[in-house]
């Protein structure tokens, strides 16, 4: 990000901050092929001046995101925060309440800093059992209750069950899948812009 981006805050919009895990960190593919980089390209095509900051780290959890968020908010002063976390909490079987509380706290911090929030819900494999999976799914709508945050759609909805769009690990989408993720995110993001 250039040093001049905050030179005239009255006219330049704040950035879109994406705080996520490997899905947003372009795991297994070049960073410029990832959906976050493609989102920045789409914004330019739409003549939208919001820069995009990708603060995603592969393997991150909701607790890690919550720890990292305050200095990111202070440094970048984003207009919009996109939270794409929770998948690693689920894969590790972390308590659902902890996930929900962490996402809720991230929403509150972001809104207190003047940002709009888009939460991208995650899904986890069926081998974790119906009870846990149902609770995991429910944690995302519950986390946004009482806030102005928008709950997006699962960004891998049309991708996760298509082996040709997934890397060999079956968890991470291929470069070919990234434009589909942008399309899914855009549906919910465009109303916040």
Q: What residues are labeled active site?
A: 22, 169, 172
The residue among 54, 68, 83 whose CA lies nearest residue 144 is: 83
- Tell me the β-bridge partners of 84: 20
The residue among 178, 181, 177, 171 whose CA lies nearest residue 87 is: 171
With contact defined as beta carbons under 8 Å apart, do 59 and 21 qualify? yes
Q: What are the helix (H) ranges across the chain?
A: 35-45, 62-76, 87-91, 96-112, 130-143, 178-189
d(CA 181, CA 189): 12
With contact defined as beta carbons under 8 Å apart, do 191 and 180 qualify? no
């Amino acid at each position: 990000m250039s040093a001049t981006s905050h030179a005239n805050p009255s006219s330049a919009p704040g950035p879109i901050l994406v705080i996520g895990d490997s899905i947003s960190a372009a795991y297994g593919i070049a960073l410029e092929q990832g959906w976050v980089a493609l989102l920045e390209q789409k914004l330019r095509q739409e003549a939208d001046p919001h820069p995009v900051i990708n603060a995603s780290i592969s393997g991150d959890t909701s607790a890690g995101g919550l720890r990292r968020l305050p200095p990111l908010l202070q440094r970048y002063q984003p207009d919009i925060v996109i939270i794409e976390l929770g998948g690693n909490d689920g894969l590790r079987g972390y308590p659902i309440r902890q996930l929900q509380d962490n996402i809720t706290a991230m929403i509150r911090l972001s809104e207190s800093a003047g940002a709009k929030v888009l939460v991208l819900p995650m899904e986890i494999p069926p081998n974790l059992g119906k009870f846990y999976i149902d609770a995991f799914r429910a944690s995302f709508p519950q986390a946004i209750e009482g806030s102005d945050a928008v709950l997006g759609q699962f960004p891998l909805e049309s991708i996760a069950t298509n082996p040709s769009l997934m890397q060999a690990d079956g968890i991470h989408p291929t470069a070919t899948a990234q434009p589909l993720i942008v399309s899914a995110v855009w549906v919910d993001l465009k109303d916040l812009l």
